[in-house]
Amino acid sequence: MPILNRASELQSVATAWRRHLHANPEILYDVENTAAFVAEKLQEFGVDEIVTGIGRTGVVGLINGAEKGRTIGLRADMDALPLDEITGKPWASATPGRMHACGHDGHMAMLLGAAKHLAETRNFAGRVAVIFQPAEEGGRGALAMVEDGLMDRFDIAEVYGMHNMPGKKAGSFAIRKGGIMAAPDKFSLKITGRGGHAAEPHNTADTIVIGAQIVSALQTIAARNANPLRSVVVSVTQFHAGTTHNIIPEEAFISGTVRSLDEEVRTLAERRIGELAAGIAAAHGASVEYDFERACPVTVNHPRETEHAARAAIDVVGPDHVDTEVDPSMAGEDFAFMLQSRPGAYIMIGNGDTAGLHNPAYDFNDEILPAGISYWVRLAEQRLPR
């Protein structure tokens, strides 16, 4: 099955939805208007059941096939980012400081297009749950929906996600088995030494000198502690200390992020940051308070479902346009929580040569809507054969 004729027909209407959503971005869980728009469209399509307010502002639409069978979940995210858009496009954000800079507007349009088609044709045995989640951008919206009973309430057997990928050929697909997106954890360190006159360092415990050693030492986690064949990133992104040129500060504050692709390396990094910081601080007569905040887990694609997803993508665009062994990304994705709760897979769709995600010049590429819609439809029909 190449790109559905119907999906090409759907392109203009899906483009209109996408641009409407793009112009009206909302943040985290505060996606009331977005969720209302999604629910209204699902109603219009004749979707059998629409449930709102799951995980605060999430929406689920249930589409019954021509025959009975299992339920599979297809998920899109709804939230935008706190960012000023600079695209100057006619459909640019109407709200300063908010922007769909991650393409979640396009993700919604693709899933709405698929829902419209599936509700019209119902050429499957079972039920499709279209899942629209809030708060993907650091708000654990996927977890909120799972904790609100998403999987059990609708008896979802498998769950699938999709994200656009700038820099990859428009409408091509990429996937891999196992870890595809990293666990994006945060850490912070507060160093307390002994402040004093800059001319009398011997009477102080200098938190800047100590902090500098800690920053350098943290790089040994990737270089000397983790197995070189297992990826980990430790980036220090903040170092605040001091007030003026002649005072050695009493305190220093360091924070950053750890990215890992498996639990073992993640736990190793968490432990080593604490050990290195505490050891270096103690060696200089200072102390340290350490906080490591686990954000979302590694996004781990289940092997069988990855094959199903790849097959659906190949059916749509052909094997030359589906990379089944793409390198993982060290960015995070909270769809990870859904994959912890049910088997499933997360696929990337190329956005073409556009600005990167989270960049103020980014825009979702409407040309890829038919490929995305066709992928969802193909996947649903293939997983729920009549």
In terms of Cα–Cα distance, which of 109, 110, 100 is closest to 23? Answer: 100
Residue 266 CA neighbour count, 13 Å, CB half: 19
For the CB of residue 77, give the shortest distance to Zn ion in the complex, in Å: 6
Distance CA 38, CA 276 (A): 49
**CB nearer to Zn ion: pick between 225 and 359:** 359
User: Is 67 labeled as catalytic in the residue annotation?
Assistant: no
Q: Which stretch binds Zn ion (CB under 5 A): 14-22, 94-102, 309-317, 363-371?
A: 94-102
Q: Is 248 in the site for Zn ion (CB under 5 A)?
A: no
**Of 97-105, 222-230, 313-321, 361-369, which part binds Zn ion (CB under 5 A)?**
97-105
Least separation in angstroms between residue 176's CB and Zn ion is: 18
Q: Spot the catalytic one: 26, 77, 85, 136.
A: 136
Question: Least Å distance between CB 194 and Zn ion?
Answer: 42
Least separation in angstroms between CB 364 and Zn ion: 10
Nearer to Zn ion, 102 or 345 (CB): 102
Q: Which residue is at the shortest CB distance from Zn ion?
A: 102
Q: How far is the CB of 338 from Zn ion (least distance, A)?
A: 14
Please spell the DSSP secondary structure of 276-338, one letter per residue.
HHHHHHHHTT-EEEEEEE--S--EEE-HHHHHHHHHHHHHHH-GGGEESSPPPBSS--TTHHH
Nearer to Zn ion, 102 or 131 (CB): 102
Contact at 8 Å (CB) between 27 and 82? yes
- Would you call 75 helix, strand, or coil by DSSP? strand
Q: Distance between CA 16 and CA 7 in Å, rounded?
A: 14
> Does position 78 bind Zn ion by CB under 5 A?
no
- Choose the binding region for Zn ion from 100-108, 126-134, 240-248, 270-278 (rule: CB under 5 A): 100-108
The answer to whether residues 306 and 159 touch, using CB atoms and an 8 Å cutoff, is no
Q: What is the nearest approach in angstroms of Zn ion to the Cβ of residue 291? A: 24
- The smaller minimum CB distance to Zn ion, of residues 138 and 343, is found at 138
Closest CA relative to residue 108, chosen from 139, 70, 80: 80
Residue 61 in tokens = 């639409």
Distance of alpha carbon 361 from the chain centroid = 19
84 is catalytic: no
Identify which of residues 102 and 248 has a Cβ nearer to Zn ion in the complex: 102
Element (H, E) at 98: none
Of residues 86 and 282, the one with the C-beta less far from Zn ion: 86
Q: Are strands 156-166 and 344-352 parallel, antiparallel or unpaired?
A: parallel
Which of 95-103, 246-254, 287-295, 321-329 is the region at the interface with Zn ion (rule: CB under 5 A)? 95-103
Assess 336 for contact with Zn ion (CB under 5 A): no
Distances (CA, A) of 56 to 109, 298, 340: 21, 24, 20
Token reading at 269: 């990094």
Name residues contacting Zn ion, limited to 156-215 (CB under 5 A): none
Q: Is 225 left (phi over 0), alpha (psi -120 to 50) or beta?
A: alpha
Q: How many residues bind Zn ion (CB under 5 A)?
A: 1
377 counts as binding Zn ion under rule CB under 5 A: no
79, 185, 315, 323: which one is catalytic? 79
Nearest distance from C-beta of residue 278 to Zn ion, angstroms: 33
Residues whose CB falls within 8 Å of the CB of residue 282, separated by 6 or more in sequence, listed in order: none
Among 10, 102, 174, 268, binds Zn ion (CB under 5 A): 102
Nearest residue (CB) to Zn ion, 102 versus 182: 102
Beta pairing class for 156-166 and 67-77 = parallel
| Residues classed as catalytic | 79, 136
Give me the residues that bind Zn ion (CB under 5 A), please.
102
